[in-house]
Structure 1
Amino acid sequence: MNTSSFNPGAAGSAKNQSSKNKLVVPGAQNAIDQMKYEIASEFGVNLGPDATSRQNGSVGGEITRRLVKLAQSNLGSTTNR
């Protein structure tokens, strides 16, 4: 049982937290972490154990939105060739 006080996918570093989530693209963790901290900065969220679930969730949700947008953009550009 994970007793961490915050969501490792949203706020903690995957290097320091155990997670069932496996990256499909090796080496993508650094890009995801960079995106996470950029979004947190944009939202004025200080990531860490004192961040609320709502704050962590807003960052995680925005990461998901941006990744989906990137994927849709890439799919659109590959199908229009």
Structure 2
Amino acid sequence: MSRSRKLVPEASQGLSKFKSEVARELGIPLSDYNGDLTSRQCGSIGGEMVKRMVEEYEGHLTTRS
């Protein structure tokens, strides 16, 4: 069983686009093959994605109260 399966498979395309946007903003080149990227570069992309998702979620929480 794959541990990397998405809870919402339909979100795959949106997440890919989001990852590309973040990588571009960070100046990290993404392509079809990303084996030449460092762990630091990959971590920067993922970390920034999580940071933005948390900020977005927190923004929704503050507007609900």
Q: TM-score, normalised by structure 1?
A: 0.65
Equivalent position of 1:60 in the other structure: 46
Distance in structure 1 (CA, Å) of the matches to 2:56 and 2:36: 30
Q: Does 1:72 align with 2:55?
A: no
Distance in structure 1 (CA, Å) of the matches to 2:64 and 2:11: 21
Tell me, which stretches of 5 or more residues in structure 1 are unaligned? 1-18
Q: Does 1:51 align with 2:34?
A: no
1:24 Cα shift?
Answer: 3.4
**RMSD over aligned Cα, in angstroms?**
1.9
Distance in structure 2 (CA, Å) of the matches to 1:78 and 1:23: 27
Tell me, which stretches of 5 or more residues in structure 2 are unaligned? none
1:27 Cα shift?
Answer: 1.5
Distance in structure 1 (CA, Å) of the matches to 2:7 and 2:57: 14
Select the structure that is richer in helix: 2
1:32-59 deviation digits (Å, cap 9, x = unpaired): 1111000111111113111111000000
Q: TM-score, normalised by structure 2?
A: 0.79
Moved segments of 4+, more than 6 Å:
none
Identity %: 38
User: Which structure is higher in RCO with an 8 Å CA cutoff and minimum separation 6?
Assistant: 1
